[in-house]
Amino acid sequence: MNYSSTPIISSTVMQPLPPLRLDTTLSGHGIKHAAVFQGAAVENVTPVRSPSHYYEDGTLVLQVGGKLYKLYVPVLRKRSRVFADMFTLPPTTPLEGTSDESPVILYGIIDSEFDCLMDFMWGSTLPEVEDPRPQAAVFFCSILKLSTLWDIPDGRAYAILHLNEYPDGWNVFRKLACAFQYRVSEWLPVALRTILSLPHSYIMGPQATDLGLPLFWKISYVRAEIDVVRKTLAYEAPPFAASLMCEAEDLCSVAWSTAWSDSFSKMLVHPDEPKSGRDVLQKLEEFIGSVPDLCEHCHALTVQAIKDSGNLIRGEEEIIEKTIESLQRGSIE
**Domain for residue 59, yes or no?**
yes
Contacts with 280 (C-beta within 8 Å, 6 or more apart), sequence order? 264, 267, 268, 312
Residue of higher predicted confidence among 72 and 17: 72
Calculate the dihedral angle through the C-alpha atoms of 121, 22, 19, 209, rounding to the nearest 10 degrees: 60
The torsion angles phi and psi of 184, rounded to 5 degrees, stand at -95, 85
Residue ending a domain, among 80, 111, 142, is 111
> What is the count of structural domains for the chain?
2
User: Does 8 have pLDDT greater than 50?
Assistant: no
Q: Check whether 24 has a pLDDT greater than 60.
A: no
- Residue 63 counted as domain residue: yes
State which of 111, 141, 170 marks the end of a domain.
111
- pLDDT over threshold 60, residue 41: no
CA distance 76 to 1: 15
- Vertex 23: Cα angle to 22 and 28 (nearest 5): 140
Which residues have C-beta within 8 Å of that of residue 120, sequence separation ≥ 6?
143, 155, 158, 159
In a domain, 104, yes or no: yes
- Please report the pLDDT score of residue 132 as a whole number: 57
Task: Let me know if residue 13 belongs to a domain.
Answer: no
Predicted local distance difference test score (pLDDT) of residue 124: 67
The pLDDT value recorded for residue 206 is: 86
Q: What is the pLDDT of residues 93-143, one digit of tens each?
A: 777 888 999 898 999 999 999 999 999 998 866 555 555 556 778 888 999
Tell which wins on pLDDT, 90 or 329.
Answer: 329
Q: What domain range is 77 assigned to? A: 22-111
Pairing mode, strands 67-71 and 34-35:
unpaired
Residues 6 or more apart whose Cβ sits within 8 Å of residue 146: 109, 113, 114, 116, 117, 152, 155
For 132-148, letters b (16+ CB in 10 Å) and e give eeebbbbbbbbbbbbbb
Q: How many residues belong to the chain?
A: 333
Is 333 among the domain residues?
A: no
pLDDT tens for each residue of 237-263: 999 999 999 999 999 999 999 999 999
User: Tens digit of pLDDT for each residue in 267-315?
Assistant: 999 988 899 999 999 999 999 989 999 999 999 999 999 999 999 999 9
Q: What is the mean pLDDT of the chain?
A: 82
Cα 312 to Cα 306: distance, rounded to the nearest angstrom: 7
Q: Tell me if 188 is assigned to some domain.
A: no
Residue 272 within a domain: yes
Which of 58, 78, 111 is the last residue in one of the domains? 111
SS3 318: helix
Whether 288 and 306 have beta carbons less than 8 Å apart is answered as no
pTM over 0.85: no
The answer to whether residue 89 is domain-embedded is yes
pLDDT in tens, 142-151: 999 999 999 9
What is the layout of strands, in order, in the sheet containing 60-64? 48-54, 67-71, 60-64, 104-105
